[in-house]
Chains A and B, each alone.
Chain A
């Protein structure tokens, strides 16, 4: 299964991913309607893109009182059925990163559906902070940064 792999260290905070997402899903450029959002922590110099991680145990689906959330077997994405959505936002509260977004105009919640396996945010990322890759590969890619962090920590210790 493929997933959106985020290397936030590479992110520059330009937000082209947010624009690509809202354009694909809502037909206009509007970061507030994007399923991916970049948190820009000004003085720490960190730009952190946050998007649904399509959890193994999705709490969003468990708390949904009307069973509006189910997994797409092919892509592994959690699909939100907008027609069933009550707008109670329990999924947003249950989610560890509050990834589902609230659409104030329609009064429903929506979420990343991996664009049916061709995520537009990844295509729009010019700096390689977002990649759509196999989970196994993502694990390998994580090893490098983890080793670097460890090296840094041991230096401090």
Chain B
């Protein structure tokens, strides 16, 4: 029996049989895998057979919370989903904000396991321990925003994010478009890039409503409050907090533009700061901003409610990341903030990944420009970098119309459709368009795209901003559990080794996700590995050391990897697309080649191969194949889990 932190139960819903069952969360599973992606992945390797079609009835969706969620620890709310994804074909974990994970815990469940396929459109209702698969015919076909409103009105009287939360798929998910995702509490949380929306659509599951009234206990109330109250006190007097909540996640936008991270035109050029300031001034954004939005327990509300007061796009828009709207609109000849907002808001309503849509659009433009495709081939449309072509791409991809029906998965769809002649122009990492431009800044976020099972984003941590001081980074790495030897390996004579750095930030990110802590630096700077282990101990009463905790993050990352190696992933998939290696990125007058984090030297293909080897060696994986070594798996206690689960090992699957 777990004393606190955890709700203590796992909920299983078999949609085929219409059966609901629950199981106690064991102490062993909790200690070894902590929560979130850890427990999700551990359950998934038993439940999801290898080589299945992600959109088949056999796929399983796991949604999990972490042991700190539901408490007053600031910034703990992450909902973690794990499934086999249609865009990548890999088993991967996804994270999203909003109140879903907390509400699930208040219902009494740490993890939710959804298997099978409902016979007709359905939605899942979890009201404390009363769990029901309900008729969803009335919701099917409706936009994500409307469905969210309907469910709030029914279950929460329009007050959102208290103890009730909803996770919804849009029309893209219903249409099984591979790039479909889900939204939690409207746009408060994006969950499931890579196709979670399509997987739920294939299960005929339109939405999940959770409303819990049970609350969460902690094992050592006094010890726990002695840790959390000083953190809350520090956030109160933090000057960054006010600025951060005023601007939101878009606070980084100028720093990103300054170094070329706002790439466009299919990774050929990036917007300069002066153009950004002229076309998308922050002052204008602040005029549009009505209020902040965000997740429960977080004093750094980073999302925005925007209001366009007049004109064609007048209306109120909940926006997860304004940055995303700008990234899209900056590429269009006629792009404005309002058009960017409209685009991402419609993408949210359709429940589709805006990055994938924009990526498809930009590739089509370049293929057309290069004479590789013609108007006839693209349903009579003229591919050009404009708002109207972006919207056409968005609508048609969502509906699966014409040629766009074949492009729903993004890069892989393009390669299938246009063949080898398109290959140089389709930049793909495991089926995703890379989200972070390594030529602008080769920090862990960009380099880690190589080793992330979804390929579109590495750990977006401290080095997302270029040129951090060595002293600051050393201090940071010590704080997140890297040993002094490891830190010295990162800062060798050759400068900063981003590959080795990525290993430690990945383990830290996975641990944060296991516990439920947000990865945003505004939050994580209040935590260290030691303080998190103290919080975990007092919350759960389980005697776990800091080393045990960070090992759980590492264990989860390795378990995910070993599963995906069995699926055929390996060193061949951990490579940047040619354009990023061979061509420069135009940034105003400058041409940016691929360089190291401190911009000391240009990196060749050999340098990149060496970095990947360094990473594999640091992880104790086979440097030739990228497969975790047997001894490594044994030392992480994963020998049993790593054995290939060719057959179903649970009756529930």
The docked-state distance in angstroms from the alpha carbon of A20 to that of B299 is 14
Give 14 CB contacts A-B under 8 Å: A13-B301, A15-B297, A16-B232, A19-B71, A23-B221, A28-B216, A30-B216, A32-B213, A43-B318, A47-B291, A123-B232, A124-B72, A127-B241, A127-B299
The A39-89 residues at the B interface (CB cut-off 8 A) are: 39-43, 45-47
Q: Is A14 an interface residue (CB 8 A)?
A: yes
Contact of B215 among A30, A47, A125 (CB under 8 A): A30
CB distance from A120 to the nearest CB of B (A): 9
Contact call A45/B291, Cβ cutoff below 8 A: yes
Most buried by A among B158, B295, B296, B297: B296
Q: Are B232 and A124 in contact (CB under 8 A)?
A: yes
A12 and B301 contact, Cβ closer than 8 Å, known pairs A26-B215, A30-B106, A30-B213: yes
User: B70 is contacted by which of A29, A39, A40, A104 (Cβ under 8 Å)?
Assistant: A29
Say whether A40 contacts B292, CB under 8 Å.
no
Which of A13, A31, A32, A42 has the most C-beta atoms of chain B within 10 angstroms of its own C-beta? A42
Indicate if the CB atoms of A23 and B225 lie closer than 8 Å.
yes
Q: What's the tally of chain B residues with a CB closer than 8 Å to chain A?
A: 41
Residue A38 lies at the interface, judged by CB distance under 8 Å to chain B = yes
- List the A residue with the shortest CB-CB distance to B106: A30
Are A37 and B186 CB-contacts (below 8 A) given A13-B294, A126-B241?
no
Complex-state Cα separation, A89 to B149, whole angstroms: 30
Asked if A22 is at the interface of the complex by the 8 Å CB criterion, the answer is yes
Closest beta carbon of chain B to A135's beta carbon, Å: 23
Q: Which of B139-189 contact A (CB under 8 A)?
A: 152, 158-163, 186
Q: How far is the CB of A36 from chain B (nearest CB, A)?
A: 12
- Chain B CB count within 10 A is highest, among A27, A123, A127, for A127
The interface residues of chain A lying within 8 Å CB-to-CB of B435 are: none
B74 at the interface (CB under 8 A from A): yes
Complex alpha-carbon distance, A31 and B161, angstroms: 11
CB of B229 within 8 A of chain A? yes
Chain B 215-241 interface 0/1 with A at a Cβ cutoff of 8 Å (1 = within): 111100100010001001001100001
Q: Are A32 and B215 in contact (CB under 8 A)?
A: yes
| CB pair A40 B299 closer than 8 Å | no
Q: How far is the CB of A57 from chain B (nearest CB, A)?
A: 28
Distance in Å: Cβ of A15 to nearest Cβ of chain B: 5
A contacts, CB < 8 Å to B: 12-16, 18-20, 22-23, 26-33, 37-43, 45-47, 104, 123-128
Which residue of the partner chain, among B221, B297, B301, contacts A19 with CB atoms under 8 Å? B297
* Cross-chain contact of A29 among B71, B159, B316 (Cβ < 8 A): B71
Residues of B within 8 A of A128 (CB): 236
Whether the pair A27, B217 counts as a contact (CB closer than 8 A) is yes
How many whole Å from A37's CB to the nearest CB in chain B?
7
| Nearest-neighbor residue (CB-CB) of A127 within chain B | B299
In the assembled complex, the Cα of A46 lies from the Cα of B291 at a distance in Å of: 8
| B258 on the A face (CB < 8 A) | no
Is A12 touching B161 in the complex (CB atoms < 8 A)?
A: no
Asked if residues B72 and A30 are in contact (CB atoms below 8 Å), the reply is no
Q: Find out whether the CB atom of A42 lies under 8 angstroms from the CB atom of B158.
A: yes
Interface residue ranges of B423-443 to A (CB < 8 Å)? none
Query: Are B299 and A14 in contact (CB-based, < 8 A)?
Result: yes
B308: interface (CB < 8 Å):
no
Asked if B245 is at the interface of the complex by the 8 Å CB criterion, the answer is yes
Determine chain A's interface SS by DSSP, over half rule. mixed
Whether the pair B296, A14 counts as a contact (CB closer than 8 A) is: yes
Q: Is B216 in contact with A31, judged by CB distance below 8 angstroms? A: no
- Given A13-B301, A19-B72, A127-B299 in contact, is the A42-B217 Cβ separation under 8 Å? no
- Using A32-B163, A40-B159, A42-B318 as known contacts, say yes or no to A126 and B292 having CB atoms under 8 A apart: no
Instruction: Kindly provide the distance from the CB of A9 to the nearest chain B CB, expressed in whole angstroms.
Output: 9
In the bound complex, do residue A45 and residue B301 qualify as a contact, i.e. CB atoms below 8 Å apart? Answer: no
Q: Is the CB of B235 within 8 A of A126?
A: yes
- B217, B225, B290, B316: the one contacting A28 at CB < 8 Å is B217
User: In the bound complex, do residue A29 and residue B160 qualify as a contact, i.e. CB atoms below 8 Å apart?
Assistant: no
Q: Which residues of chain B from 26 to 71 have a CB within 8 Å of any chain A CB?
A: 70-71
Q: What separation, in Å, do the CA atoms of A23 and B217 have in the docked complex?
A: 9
- Contact between chains at B290 and A45 (CB < 8 Å): yes
**For the complex, what is the distance from the CA of A127 to the CA of B235, rounded to whole Å?**
9
A126 B299 Cβ-Cβ under 8 A: yes
* Residues in chain B near residue A127, CB distance under 8 A: 236, 241, 245, 299
CB-based contact B161/A40 at 8 Å: yes
Contact of B161 with A13 in the complex, beta carbons under 8 Å: yes
Bound-state CA distance A19–B160 (Å) is 16
Give CA–CA (A42, B318) in the complex, Å: 9
Q: Which residue of A lies closest to B185 (CB)?
A: A42
Residues of chain A lying within 8 A (CB to CB) of residue B214? 30
Top 6 A-B residue pairs of the complex, sorted by shortest distance between their CB atoms:
A30-B215, A45-B291, A126-B299, A19-B72, A28-B215, A45-B290
Q: Is the CB of B299 within 8 A of A16?
A: yes
> In the complex, what residues of A have CB within 8 A of residue B213's CB?
30, 32, 104
The docked-state distance in angstroms from the alpha carbon of A38 to that of B296 is: 11
CB A106 to nearest CB in B, in angstroms, measures 13
Q: Among B215, B218, B235, which residue has its beta carbon within 8 angstroms of that of A33?
A: B215
Q: How far is the CB of B223 from chain A (nearest CB, A)?
A: 13
Interface centre among B158, B162, B318, by most chain A C-beta atoms within 10 angstroms, is B162
The answer on a CB contact under 8 Å between B159 and A41 is: yes
Cα(A21)–Cα(B316), bound, Å? 33
The residues of A that contact B216 with a CB separation of less than 8 Å are 28-30
Q: Mark B605-639, 1 if CB is under 8 A from A, else 0.
A: 00000000000000000000000000000000000
Instruction: Flag if B235 contacts A43 (CB, 8 Å).
Output: no
